[in-house]
Amino acid sequence: MPSFDTSVPALLVRLDRNPFHHGTLGAARSLGRAGIPVHAVIESLTSPVTRSRYVRDVHVSPDAPSPAELARLLLTLSDGLPGPGPALLVPMDDVSALALAEHRTELAGRYLLPDQTPERLVRVADKAALAETCRALGLPHPRTEIPAGADEAAAMAWSLGLPAVAKWSRPWLLPAGSGLRSTSIVRSLAEVRALYARTPQAGSRLLLQRLLPAGRHLDWFFHGYADSTGRCSAAATGRKERSWPHGAGLTAVGRWTPNPAVERVARDLLTALGHRGVVDLDFRLDRSTDTYHLLDFNPRPGAQFRLFADREGLDVVRAMHLDLTGRRVPPHSPAYGRRFVVENYAALALLTSPRRRPDAERGIGGGADHGAEGGTETDATPAAESGNATRRVETAWFAADDPVPALAMTWAWFRHALRRGLTALRRPARPEGLTPANGPATALPSPPAARIPSQGACEGGTTKDRARQA
């Protein structure tokens, strides 16, 4: 294990109200097992994360604080943290990362943070800005449309083809309890219109994207840490084996698998942006062009970052602590074949995912054994196991040395499911034949006669760029 400065505590910050955010628990365990004191600012004192033996103290985050309010809270908390100097700040969601970057100057005397600006982060965290960034860099990205009205949204969805992907530009602004998801699949024009009507409630623009065909071995992710010199360490690629919701959700089961094509694109992107800090990038392979499209860029640790803990226990969160405390970040030692399982979401994905069929039956050409630009991905065997950090399967919630959070999560999950079930039972059934106010969910009107301007369309750069990438 690398040598850590254990006199520097870590403060995890998450403003997302999701009590089942397993990435926060992973960060607490990763740093805590290294002997680093861990404190957390999270949504509730009843969160399963609070039950971890590695979390020394928990502070409740205020509801929807402004960046300035969060900064004031962190400055107040710094007085009570152990250690003679500044503590490490670890944002666990996009809104926290943006807020910390905005107030980095005033926090710098009390906390250690990557050299990052809010303008640089918005270029990638805002989904509309990410589409424009991809267009400017010639990076493959699904065709993206930004409607200015419900009729235009319907016309654009028709042009893209249904089903399509709907995203909110700034998902961190979605109000808790609204039922709005950051990303969803829309299958009818009625759904598109209904979703667009909720734009004021969502707090940001609605984006519509072409849905790249799903399939086995097509969804990939890259995690890495760009240090103060721009060098990307603790970098690795993984493959989604199951997701929740199916086809457009978070990783329920992931596998550490080498993919040189994805890693090359990710490293080149970080260099072009001058990014500093932890990143989590999502890609999907478009089999029609044999190119990997960037779907998402998260400027903070991904929830499944513990998948990439190597034989010495090094992951992106530990790399961040080492770098910002002036310690050397050692080379990352791959443990190919290692899996990460999120128990609650993996169970849902297994129960609800469509029955798998051969790729040929899905209309997906070939296998999934090679990447774009001649890169290859292989099903390598796991590296030799060496202690807890490289066991072949790591679970998000259960750990033999820290079992209580898994029990707390299971109880909270049961209560959550029970509430959802009771709400569904109490909801009055719609009388047979009654049509919703926004029209039948399956109604498809004739194609719009007028051509709708693209308004930010981005599909991997110019025609010349796409030909070169193919």
Write the pLDDT tens digit of every residue in 79-112. 999 999 999 999 999 999 999 999 999 999 999 9
The arithmetic mean of pLDDT across residues 58-84, rounded, is: 93
Contact of 141 with 460, CB cutoff 8 Å:
yes
Percent of the chain past pLDDT 90, that is, above it, reads: 74
The arithmetic mean of pLDDT across residues 218-240, rounded, is: 96
Residue 451 has pLDDT above 60, yes or no: no
Percent of the chain past pLDDT 70, that is, above it, reads: 83
pLDDT band for position 214 (cuts 50, 70, 90): confident
The arithmetic mean of pLDDT across residues 275-285, rounded, is: 97
Residue 347 has pLDDT above 90, yes or no: yes
Residue 30 has pLDDT above 70, yes or no: yes
The arithmetic mean of pLDDT across residues 378-387, rounded, is: 40
Look at residue 416 in the predicted model and tell me its pLDDT: 87
The arithmetic mean of pLDDT across residues 196-210, rounded, is: 97
Q: Secondary structure of the chain in the HEC alphabet?
A: CCCCCCCCCEEEECCCCCCCCHHHHHHHHHHHHCCCCEEEEECCCCCHHHHCCCCCEEEECCCCCCHHHHHHHHHHHHCCCCCCCCEEEEECCHHHHHHHHHCHHHHCCCEECCCCCHHHHHHHHCHHHHHHHHHHHCCCCCCEECCCCHHHHHHHHHHHCCCEEEEECCHHHCCCCCCCCCEEEECCHHHHHHHHCCHHHHCCCEEEEECCCCCCCCEEEEEEEECCCCCEEEEEEEEEEEEECCCCCEEEEEEECCCHHHHHHHHHHHHHHCCCEEEEEEEEEECCCCEEEEEEEECCCCCCHHHHCCCCCCCHHHHHHHHHCCCCCCCCCCCCCCEEECHHHHHHHHHHCCCCCCHHHHCCCCCCCECHHHCECCCCCCCCCCCHHHCCEEECCCCCCCCHHHHHHHHHHHHHHHHHHHHHHHCCCCCCCCCCCCCCCCCCCCCCCCCCCCCCCCCCCCHHHHHHHC
Residue 365 has pLDDT above 50, yes or no: no
Tens-place pLDDT, residues 158-190: 999 999 999 999 998 998 888 899 999 999 999
Residue 281 has pLDDT above 70, yes or no: yes
Residue 195 has pLDDT above 80, yes or no: yes
pLDDT band for position 400 (cuts 50, 70, 90): very high
Look at residue 395 in the predicted model and tell me its pLDDT: 98
Look at residue 312 in the predicted model and tell me its pLDDT: 94
Look at residue 377 in the predicted model and tell me its pLDDT: 47
- Considering the entire predicted model, what is its pTM? 0.84
Nearest to residue 423, comparing CAs of 177, 195, 181, 197?
177
- 422: Cβ contacts below 8 Å, ≥ 6 apart: none
Residue type, 107: L
Look at residue 390 in the predicted model and tell me its pLDDT: 55
Residue 230 has pLDDT above 70, yes or no: yes
The arithmetic mean of pLDDT across residues 384-403, rounded, is: 76
90 or 369: which carries more pLDDT confidence? 90
Look at residue 447 in the predicted model and tell me its pLDDT: 38
pLDDT band for position 379 (cuts 50, 70, 90): very low
Residue 376 has pLDDT above 80, yes or no: no
**Six token digits for residue 451:** 């051509």
Look at residue 391 in the predicted model and tell me its pLDDT: 67
Q: What is the rounded distance in angstroms from the CA atom of residue 18 to the CA atom of residue 26?
A: 15
The arithmetic mean of pLDDT across residues 142-148, rounded, is: 97
The arithmetic mean of pLDDT across residues 435-460, rounded, is: 39
Look at residue 32 in the predicted model and tell me its pLDDT: 98
Average pLDDT, the chain: 86
